[in-house]
Structure 1
Amino acid sequence: MKQRVKIIGIARHRLSTDGDGVTTLVAFHGCPLRCQYCLNPQSLADSGNFKEYTPQSLYDEVRIDEIYFIATNGGVTFGGGEPCLHADFIREFSELCGASWQLNLETSLNVPSVNIETLLPVVNTLIIDIKDMNPAIYNSYTGQSNDLVLDNLRLIADSGRQKDCIIRLPLIPDFNTETDRTASCSRLEALGFNNFDLFTYQIRRH
């Protein structure tokens, strides 16, 4: 039986926002985190405007932009939700599109290490949303432990793929400070990561 996944959205013609060149963002349903300021709450909803895809049906839909992918060194960025929950799906998709498309992941890394082991050979760039390296801050914000995140960062470091990672380190109002973020950077640099995306969450207060 072919595996099927729920997709909450497909956004075409994104330019240099989720990786190199022209990309199509494919957002999966489902996430292990429960972030206080969730940026994509529809990924957690029990019901909604989802569409189910197999790897083949997703490939058939997004290949309309193949000429742009190849001309600009772009491709598909898998986000969500948490795309790494669907490692076998992405691996099968990669076999369909081949090496001429760039495949990127927007991930929290809060998944079993076997999922990351499956994905490392088939993805080009990992855009990793760390939140904060401090376990207490991470738990307070996401409702989860960051043990798996730390394990997977070490796995990536051991594989020598640090240069293929963009680490997102936000300042999150009421949860962390610039001092906390500096400490996170130092811990990540010790593992060989040095490509950081530093920004501040813009929170609407009512």
Structure 2
Amino acid sequence: MKLDYEHVTDLGELLDSDTIIQINKQFFDSENVDYEETPDSPQDIERVRDARLERLTTEFPRFEPLANQLAHIVRTFCGHHLFPDANHRTGTHIADMLAKKQGYDLFSLIQQDTDGIRRAVELSKILRGLCSNVRNSIDYLWMKDELFYHWNRYFRDLLYDLSPQKRVHPDTGECQYENLTSNERISLIYKFAILETAEMRDALSDYRFE
């Protein structure tokens, strides 16, 4: 399927360090967006270590599927917190630039998915707190942890309209498509395990021991 072979290899200046810094700065200059409270000023952005951005631009996984590439980008910014603020917005903005290389208007799709992106960002912040590797070391720049898979699922569903609900039978859990990721299989098993546990708990609560 398209989601398995589409990818961006010709990055050009999309991931140039100066371009990334300017993208982040524009969010501080905008009056149309509410930001997280931060003691840092726009000048603090200039202090971002070039070494980190250099690794981002030189080690970008050019031959992974597009959904992976977009997930890597957002995970890197929101996970490693490369800037004092607006890391999710910076990551999704750059993801939109990459998606446009393949003819997708990611920005418009996200605008139409207001509730979805809000939930995605909220869960992303929680997952960042749980994934110590992404917070503590730049050596885990392209690690495929739960934060990565969270954004991978979001972009796969958004770009290709292949949500897990459409690929998996809601009752039996049988895979209806061959492109279900291993991470989604694990999530599905976990989901049904929770349901079975809940059913057992309800059954026991109705049973009166003598």
| TM-score normalised over the length of structure 1 | 0.28
Higher helix share: 2
Structure possessing the higher radius of gyration over alpha carbons: 2
Higher RCO by CA contacts (8 Å cutoff, separation 6 or greater): 2
Higher strand share: 1
